[in-house]
Amino acid sequence: MGVRRAFSSLLHYMLPKKRPAEGVVVEGNSSSCDPESALKKPRISCVISSGTKENTSGCSSNKVVSNNTNGNASSSSVGERSVTEMAFDDGNPHDIDEDLHSRQLAVYGRETMRRLFASNVLVSGIQGLGAEIAKNLILAGVKSVTLHDEGQVQLWDLSSNFIFSESDVGKNRAFASVQKLQELNNAVVVSSLTTKLTKEKLSDFQAVVFTNTSLEDALEFNDYCHNHQPPIAFIRTEVRGLFGYVFCDFGPEFTVFDVDGEEPHTGIIASISNDNPALISCVDDERLEFQDGDLVVFSEVQGMTELNDDKPRKISSARPYSFTLDEDTTNFGPYGRGGIVTQVKPPKILNFKTLREAIMDPGDFLLSDFSKFDRPPLLHLAFQALDKFRSDLARFPLAGSEDDAQRLISIATNLNESNGNVKLDDINPKLLQQLSHGARAELNPMAAMFGGIVGQEVVKACSGKFHPLYQFFYFDSLESLPTEPLDPSDLKPLNTRYDAQISVFGQKFQKKLEDAKVFLVGSGALGCEFLKNLALMGVACTEQGKLTVTDDDVIEKSNLSRQFLFRDWNIGQAKSTVAAAAATSINPQLRVEALQNRVGPETENVFDDTFWENLSVVINALDNVNARLYVDQRCLYFQKPLLESGTLGAKCNTQMVIPHLTENYGASRDPPEKQAPMCTLHSFPHNIDHCLTWARSEFEGLLEKTPAEVNAYLSNPSEYTSAQTNAGDAQARDNLERILECLDRESCETFEDCIAWARLKFEEYFANRVKQLIFTFPEDALTSSGAPFWSAPKRFPCPLQFSSTDPSHLHFIMAASMLRAETFGIPIPDWVKHPKKLSEAVHKVMVPCFQPRKDAKIVTDEKATSLSSSASIDDAAVIDELISKLECSRKNLPPGFRMKPIQFEKDDDTNYHMDLIAALANMRARNYCIPEVDKLKAKFIAGRIIPAIATTTAMATGLVCLELYKVLDGGHKLEDYRNTFANLALPLFSIAEPVPPKVIKHNDLSWTVWDRWVIKDNPTLRELIQWLADKGLNAYSISCGSCLLFNSMFPRHKERMDQKVVDLARDVAKMEIPPYRRHLDVVVACDDDNDEDVDIPLYLFRSSGSYILYALSSSPLCSNNIRYTARFFSIATLILTMSIDGDSLYFEPDFVLYTKTSSAAMATVRMIDIAVNFTDSMFKGIYNGKQYHMGDIQAVLKRAWSAGVERIIVTGGSLEESKEALAIAETDARLFCTVGVHPTRCKEFEDSGDPEKHLQDLLTLAKEGKEKGKVVAIGECGLDYDRLHFCPSDIQKKYFEKQFELAYTMKLPMFLHMRAASQDFCDILQRNKDRFVAGVAHSFTGSAEDCDKLLSFSNVFIGINGCSLKTAENLEVVKGIPVERMMIETDSPYCDIKNTHAGIRYVKSSWPSKKKDKHDQECLVKGRNEPCLVRQVLEVVAGTKGIADIDQLSQTLYHNTCRFELIHVTVNVFRVFFPHDLDSAAEALLASGREDL
């Protein structure tokens, strides 16, 4: 540890304090790098540990934290330093422009950046490759870059060098490059060297790169660099046509301080054994990423404190949640609790060979393309032959010259023969011929790719960050050549800027490039590189060609470190406009149009059908998945190639989407990111990410959402309060409370008020909340199972005591008060930034004492998705009171008062947004003894900054442009294309063929998502259905845009069979085709003879010259709001959309489709689903023991609420299941549950060993749940004689009767189950009729006689679901059940209404569904029932009973479930499930039913 501190201190003094700001052009032998002023960075041979460890285990559990972790500075010693400077003073020099380099800092860190700032680099050879390397290094921010080249600019160079223009022809390359490269970063000294380079001159540099030097010179220079003290990093690289290589030599002993750039892996310890070796188990919060042989250190371990010595220890037997420690802990203290285990990343020493040695003994080559295992040795030989050719003839082979090609082959043959035992069996003359033809050409894509790779190697050499390339890397892209044989005459130069490219691809292919129509989506980092590449390649450079680029973003300072077409004077301007103008300056022939439109459904009038149909190719340069998916969908729809790429720090990937050859981008999806549970973020954080996520949430709540709610109220008070009254739920109450708090109790009129608000927020967040938490859960608290509550990963917190001498505390007050003042429009005084004056103002604030509440409820359930309280019986009254108080507060406001919501902006360090978020997070971290972070680290996490560096971007775009050659040629096969994943940090290159599209087979037909079926003319509906039937496909549903055209279950639709499909679309759907569209979308859902859905191709036919596309089962649902979903999906049920009138959705009278936009259509329908089995594995994505998709209860609930379901009762069928049901119910105010044991599971009483205790456990659980307002019934209990194989009848009867004790004690109704046991069931009910207040026999499937028996009990209701509506007999029984004795349910995931059920004819609503293996959150799972479908039960009940007013029916059933019931001739009030929930409709119904009530 001492070594690290000493070295860091030394490095601080070694680095320059002020960086030069202008370039220098030096002629002759001079150098801009004065040996006296440019300090030579010594080679580092000492070992640097992975990071300083902080012992944070000393957070006392019973003391208030008042220490200042940044040093206690009294106000008198502060001097002139600002509060911010004091708060974030980490003792390091602030010499990095964090606004400019924020994304790069996220990859490299400060230490690496400072080493770069001290590094001088030479780049020799400023053609295309040299220019790319220099660009990347200047953007990275090295101290200086010296450009060396003795040659003159030729027209030939313009094929690959973005710096040169035709006016530069004849000038020295290095001299002509300085000014434009200097513009990239004024903090880097850029200079030129135009005369012959001597080896002694190399001593001025830390790294030297040679891109166009002879082998003889390279050997001489490398020997010098290798033997120099300290060694000079030497890199030789070349690109020759479609071939390239890199060689690295960083000296005899090079230290790599961080081999991969990844954060050290960590784990939270759960237990440690006293064994030899010791077994360490970790909590299952996250999988461990350790590997056998890793070194780890321990911290914060309580009990076995011997491990907290910061000593690296080796591990073995690494598993997902445990590992073995190779140490004897037998005599260590017993493990208590807590502890963090952290990976140690030791430095690595690499022993490089010289170039002279490595040529003869290259060792292992870095492989990139696994289809070319034998290629690197062959290219190693080929480039040696090319070096000899160049040495012998003082030139490169000529393009198209067979003599030169044969001479190169001959040289290679001789070299191979002289290699003895390592000679190759086949030297591949054809490959050597291709190398010969393109040897003089530097192609832009190759230069871009290798420029990124080599630039990164220089960064490694200067910093020790990431593992160097060791030592040869060879690459070729011969697949990019045209598929048609090239005529040598076609390769001859035309005296144009494209001659180098023509020498490889030929004149005819160059014309294809120039005539291409390209759509580039995005002009950020990737977009800038693509624009440069396309301009140099000559893409879209004729009247026939066109390049369209769009980006709706503007340029910010942080963009300048990698988006190289922008300059500081462009900040604030549109990215696409500036980038397009810069690309035109690179190649004036480029025909480019710059737009500022986002690509999405809302801009389909801009990017219309004609636009898409005319494109040659689409290139994505996007930074978000949703936009990528939309563009992918459009390319799939219009059958256009899509070239996709993305970067993340040193990693990048490219994906080719080629019509009919590859799968589309959306065919595969990454798993969703794991999110911390809500309770963890709010009460139990255990890492800084949790603290920062919470901090950003609080920022947005306090400064954006609440002011926005205030303004919404003030804009139209009556409408706003009316909406909240109608909602009448906990959310409405919360909204009103926040508004009142903002305008009344916490209203601010002066800046001093803002300071007081900030001081009280500090007390609330970091003292009072923690005091309440540890009062509710003291340090010795136990869980219900008897385990310590504060066990890993929970950390016991300590409240903070505010101190004005703590800069971090003052910084929170400053940032919070300034932003609070901004929301109220209060001027901010300058004195707030001065610690002494701010302290004086804070001391005037009166802070009330805090007393913990005994009844405080703190959410501890990790499954909870909300911290909002459940709906309360008093909500309506409280809401009325809040509205009254708000009216009073509003009258006291100045006329026209509005607040200013603040939207979080991470990249403006003057706005104090990140100051507040960092302060919030760090104070919270201090509460929980979590290591704090500086503002930059906080910005990375809270701002969700994507790490980015120029080198990776350049490499990715180069790889994509190599594929672009293939796309525009048009004749390549799947095996010619390449997808890439690369990690420059390792380095790793994984290049492989793309995945072909999934082939769907049906009978003797097969197709993919790219295929289309074509039918001529305009068929009738009958002809279309017959056409499909001839292929063995049954079309059961056809819809257009917003309307159902045909469904096989509706008899009246058969009247449409002889109408033309186009006419139906126009007449029934009333579709008006916008001028920017050429077709209508019709969705057809098909199944086969086995009722299995079949994904069929798009169906295309022409009618009157217009295109009509029929998206058969694989097309997106089409409505204005959900027009283009994330990806194409299969249709498992009727796929319809709605006619649209404004924001409302209307439907054909006989059929309704509900989507996420249709909740308004259900506003008057109120439903409660009294039976949902959310504990069933199907809702976790598991079917018959196999996982098909992630759990989706939240998506299921969202559909239910939208459908008009207001409450759901989650069924408990056993003790454990009841616990789970209660846990689920606690996640949403609208969820409730039952507690009981299902008749088929009553053996669990006996199996428990103590039936009475088991019953008592059920009672305890019921009490707990009732107190929480969640348990509303005892059950599911009863008798089931259909399944006696699960539990004998005698046991069922015994424990059915026992559970009446629970109902009697708890005064709760019963949730009953009766199947084939009506006599025994009713006998038991009769015996216990006075022991339960009410009950419902759910999922009733019995006879009319059974029904009458149940109805004879005045307090028993009957539950109806899909199983109750199967047969005509069932419907007759239902018809006879009085509506006032009925409830509805789904019993999901079971008991859905199927097409074969008698009740199906009354169903008017449906939802899109998909098979479980094609799960989509927006669709139901086919064959799995869910709560939204209780609407169908309501419809069948209405149809069966002939009730036209479905709204009134729903109100009656809702009333039955919730409140009171009028029975017979006297008024008997029975508590059913929600007796407290009174409404006017129920009151009116009661009154109308009994006038004398």
Tokens describing residue 1409: 């569904």
Tokens describing residue 1393: 């209404």
CA 597 to chain centre: 23
CB 239 within 8 A of CB 442: yes
Query: Residue 1338 is inside which H or E element, if any?
Result: strand 1335-1338
Asked if pLDDT for residue 607 goes beyond 80, the answer is yes
pLDDT of res. 876: 73
Lowest mean pLDDT among 415-424, 633-642, 721-730, 1434-1443: 721-730
Segment 490-515 shows an average pLDDT of 95
Please count the other Cβ atoms lying within 10 Å of the Cβ belonging to residue 878.
16
CB 1254 within 8 A of CB 1244: yes
> Is residue 62 classed as helix, strand or coil in its secondary structure?
coil
Asked if pLDDT for residue 858 goes beyond 80, the answer is yes
pLDDT of res. 1414: 84
End-to-end CA distance of the chain: 84
Per-residue buried b or exposed e for 933-949, using 16+ beta carbons within 10 Å of the residue's own CB:
bbbbbbbbbbbebebbb
User: pLDDT per residue over 1387-1402, tens digit each?
Assistant: 999 999 988 888 998 9
Whether this model's pTM surpasses 0.75 = no
User: pLDDT per residue over 901-960, tens digit each?
Assistant: 999 998 888 899 999 999 999 999 999 999 999 988 999 999 888 899 999 999 999 999
pLDDT of res. 91: 53
- Position 1473 confidence tier, pLDDT thresholds 50, 70, 90: low
Q: Specify burial of residue 836 (Cβ count, 10 A radius: 0-12, 13-18, 19+).
A: middle
Identify the CA nearest to 691 among candidates 902, 935, 928, 909.
928
CA distances from 1276 to 1242, 1247, 1254, 1316 (A): 11, 19, 16, 16
Q: Specify burial of residue 751 (Cβ count, 10 A radius: 0-12, 13-18, 19+).
A: buried
Return all residues near 1417 (Cβ < 8 A) that are at least 6 apart: 1192, 1195
Tokens describing residue 1215: 């003790």
Is the Cα dihedral 786, 789, 794, 798 positive or negative?
A: negative
- Position 877 confidence tier, pLDDT thresholds 50, 70, 90: confident
- Position 678 confidence tier, pLDDT thresholds 50, 70, 90: confident
User: pLDDT per residue over 1031-1040, tens digit each?
Assistant: 888 888 888 7
Continuous H helices in 1176-1214: 1193-1203
Read off the DSSP letter of residue 667.
Answer: G
How many residues are given for the chain? 1493
Residue 754 bears catalytic tag:
no
User: pLDDT per residue over 182-211, tens digit each?
Assistant: 999 999 999 999 999 999 999 999 999 999
Identify the CA nearest to 940 among candidates 704, 689, 699, 671.
689
Identify the CA nearest to 271 among candidates 282, 255, 262.
282
Vertex 821: Cα angle to 818 and 823 (nearest 5): 115
pLDDT of res. 351: 97
Segment 123-138 shows an average pLDDT of 97
3-state DSSP helix/strand/coil % of the chain, to nearest 5: 40, 15, 45
Report the distance separating Cα 179 and Cα 772, nearest Å: 64
pLDDT of res. 1415: 86
Cross-strand partners of 1107: 1102
- Number of H-type helices and E-type strands within the chain: 43, 47
Please count the other Cβ atoms lying within 10 Å of the Cβ belonging to residue 1077.
17
Tokens describing residue 303: 């009990």
CA 40 to chain centre: 44
Name the residue type at position 1133. T
Report the distance separating Cα 685 and Cα 797, nearest Å: 9
Of the residues 33, 59, 282, 679, only one is catalytic, namely 679
Asked if pLDDT for residue 1065 goes beyond 90, the answer is no
Report the distance separating Cα 145 and Cα 138, nearest Å: 7
Sole residue written with tokens 């001028």: 1075
Q: Is the peptide bond before 482 cis (omega within 30 degrees of 0)?
A: no
pLDDT of res. 1098: 64
User: pLDDT per residue over 410-428, tens digit each?
Assistant: 999 999 999 877 889 999 9
pLDDT of res. 861: 78
The proportion of the chain whose per-residue pLDDT surpasses 90, expressed as a percent, equals 66
Query: Residue 518 is inside which H or E element, if any?
Result: strand 517-521
Asked if pLDDT for residue 35 goes beyond 80, the answer is no
Read off the DSSP letter of residue 268.
Answer: E
User: pLDDT per residue over 1075-1084, tens digit each?
Assistant: 777 776 777 8
> Is residue 183 classed as helix, strand or coil in its secondary structure?
coil
Q: Are strands 340-344 and 348-350 parallel, antiparallel or unpaired?
A: unpaired
pLDDT of res. 823: 96
CA distances from 1339 to 487, 881, 1169, 1360, 1433 (A): 79, 42, 12, 5, 12
HSE-up of residue 1239 (Cα within 13 Å, Cβ side): 26
Tokens describing residue 678: 């809500």
pLDDT of res. 1454: 87
Asked if pLDDT for residue 436 goes beyond 50, the answer is yes
Read off the DSSP letter of residue 475.
Answer: E
User: pLDDT per residue over 1171-1185, tens digit each?
Assistant: 999 999 999 989 888
User: pLDDT per residue over 460-484, tens digit each?
Assistant: 999 999 999 999 999 999 999 999 9
Report the distance separating Cα 862 and Cα 846, nearest Å: 37
Segment 567-595 shows an average pLDDT of 96
φ, ψ for residue 532, nearest 5 deg: -60, -45
Report the distance separating Cα 1276 and Cα 938, nearest Å: 50
Report the distance separating Cα 1457 and Cα 1465, nearest Å: 21
CA distances from 1206 to 2, 390, 1163, 1228 (A): 64, 81, 11, 11
The proportion of the chain whose per-residue pLDDT surpasses 70, expressed as a percent, equals 85
Query: Residue 298 is inside which H or E element, if any?
Result: strand 295-299
Report the distance separating Cα 1277 and Cα 30, nearest Å: 95
- Mean pLDDT over each residue of the chain, to the nearest integer: 85
Report the distance separating Cα 868 and Cα 859, nearest Å: 9
Vertex 996: Cα angle to 990 and 997 (nearest 5): 135
Lowest mean pLDDT among 157-166, 1005-1014, 1242-1251: 1005-1014
Q: Is the peptide bond before 1216 cis (omega within 30 degrees of 0)?
A: no
Asked if pLDDT for residue 1487 goes beyond 80, the answer is no
Tokens describing residue 818: 């300034």
Tokens describing residue 624: 């978000």
CA 547 to chain centre: 30
pLDDT of res. 1291: 94
Q: Specify burial of residue 547 (Cβ count, 10 A radius: 0-12, 13-18, 19+).
A: buried
- Considering only residues 273 and 86, tell me which one the structure prediction assigns the higher pLDDT: 273
- Position 74 confidence tier, pLDDT thresholds 50, 70, 90: very low
Asked if pLDDT for residue 822 goes beyond 70, the answer is yes
Report the distance separating Cα 537 and Cα 528, nearest Å: 14
φ, ψ for residue 403, nearest 5 deg: -65, -45
Report the distance separating Cα 654 and Cα 657, nearest Å: 10
Return all residues near 396 (Cβ < 8 A) that are at least 6 apart: 240, 386, 389, 390, 439, 440
CB 1134 within 8 A of CB 1106: no
- Position 1407 confidence tier, pLDDT thresholds 50, 70, 90: confident
- Position 670 confidence tier, pLDDT thresholds 50, 70, 90: confident
